Amino acid sequence: MASIGEIFGVVKLRGGQQFVRDFQGVTGRIKNEVGNVKTFLQSAFGGIVLADLNNAANELVTSQRKLQAAAKLTGVDFDNLQETSDETKAAFALTKKDSNELTVSLTKLTQKAGDVSKTSLAIRRLLDLGAAQGNNVEQTLLAIDQAILGIDDGTDKLFQKNPSVLYKEYADLIGTTAGKLTDQQKAQALLNAVMESGLKVQGE
């Protein structure tokens, strides 16, 4: 593949009308060279780049649909969820997909616990907790989703405790037993753990 300098080297040796004819020929050669480079790049990388862009777009659309579904399921106004997601994205430099997913998960938890007004703060405390433990956003999100479902891996990763320990601690706090906790109270136990643990690691 000829360099631009090599191509224009031909022009420097000529003058007048011959220069014009040579210049026209040079521009044609440059177009061909650029076309060859473009074809090569598209062939080598174009498919990968387009696939990545398509995947990212699909993930964003899916997360946006989840946000809309969460609004319907929890009864929280969609605009409020969108605002929470946007604030989280700006505060923690997240992708829109990640901020949507976090908003969905924490809204489900706070709604189940009976206080959706704590959603935004719960997200911040959760991200602080995850960061202090060296977890990225995806790992933190997976852990809280597992914890909400009562899966040991989630609470172990976030609090180094299994769900039964969290439930017992909360039950002791309100003067009952873990076996008598309602679903709402179990959600409150998890939300309390997020709030308290996240607050402890702030500034670390």
Whether 98 and 161 share a structural domain: yes
Q: What's residue 14's pLDDT?
A: 46
Looking at the structure, do residues 112 and 184 belong to the same domain, yes or no? yes
- Indicate if 159 and 125 belong to the same structural domain: yes
Same domain as 93, residue 67: no
Name the domain boundary from 27, 42, 74. 74
The DSSP 8-state label assigned to residue 66 in this structure reads H
Same domain, 98 and 5: no
Q: Are residues 92 and 192 in the same domain?
A: yes
pLDDT at 86: 95
What is the identity of the amino acid at 146?
A: Q
C-alpha to C-alpha distances, 148 to 37, 42, 96, nearest whole angstrom: 52, 45, 22
**Same domain (yes/no): 82, 68:** no
What distance in Å separates the CA atoms of residue 163 and residue 155, rounded to the nearest whole number? 6
* Measured distance CA(57)–CA(43) in Å, rounded: 22
67 and 89 inside one domain: no
CA distance 136 to 30: 47
User: What tokens does 96 get?
Assistant: 């829109």
User: Domain check: are 108 and 51 in the same one?
Assistant: no
| Residues 94 and 137 sit within 8 Å (Cβ to Cβ) | yes
The answer to whether residues 47 and 90 belong to one domain is: no
Task: Give the mean pLDDT per block of 10 residues along the chain (204 residues).
Answer: 48 48 54 57 56 70 88 91 95 93 96 95 96 94 95 95 95 96 97 96 71
Query: Which pLDDT belongs to residue 202?
Result: 80
Q: Residues 160, 185: one domain?
A: yes
Written as one string, the DSSP assignment of 9-32 is HHHHT--HHHHHHHHHHHHHHHHH
Same domain, 100 and 169: yes
Residue type, 140: T
Task: Point out the domain boundary residue: 74, 94, 117.
Answer: 74
The parent domain of residue 19 ranges over 1-74
Q: Of how many residues is the chain composed?
A: 204
Residue 61: the pLDDT is 83
Domain boundary pick from 74, 98, 133: 74
Report how far residue 155's alpha carbon sits from residue 192's, in angstroms, rounded to the nearest whole number. 13
Total domains, the chain:
2
- Rounded to whole angstroms, how far apart are CA atoms 126 and 140? 8
